[in-house]
Amino acid sequence: MDQIRPFPPQDLLDKAEEDEAIRLAPAPDLMNWVITNFLTVGGPLHNPDHDHIAELLHDNEEFVGVIKRWGADESVKRLIEVAKQAPFVSDVNISKCCGTCLIS
């Protein structure tokens, strides 16, 4: 495991004193570090209780693998039910609105 987590860009930290304010930005390598250390099976800090987070970050094939291993929780079951239904906005009307107002 990388013992030191990634840090925000140094130039933002350097400007903090000068600007008398702290500017926030994620470390450029943070996402990869979290996936490698926390979400990858066999990673140094992997915890199966966090596998549901991997559903949000990994591609479709990995998502399918997680569901095959652990099953679908209620939010995944809801996603499946919504995906089975016809869209609220038909192909003909999709250029005229985003469809958000049609969802109730």
Render each residue's pLDDT in the chain as its tens digit; 104 residues: 556 788 878 887 788 777 777 777 788 888 888 888 888 888 898 888 888 787 777 777 778 888 888 888 898 899 889 888 887 766 655 555 565 666 65
Residue 104 Cα distances to 88, 97, 101, angstroms: 10, 15, 7
Does residue 3 form part of some domain? no
Q: Which distant-in-sequence residues (6+ apart) come within 8 Å of 28 by Cβ?
A: 6, 9
Residue at 55 is within a domain = yes
Is residue 24, in this structure, part of any structural domain at all? yes
Integer Cα distance of 53 and 24 in angstroms: 23
Q: Is residue 58 part of a domain?
A: yes
pTM for the whole thing?
A: 0.44
Please give the residue range of the domain that contains residue 24.
Answer: 10-102
Q: Check residue 2 and give its pLDDT.
A: 55
User: Is residue 2 in some structural domain?
Assistant: no
Number of domains in the chain: 1
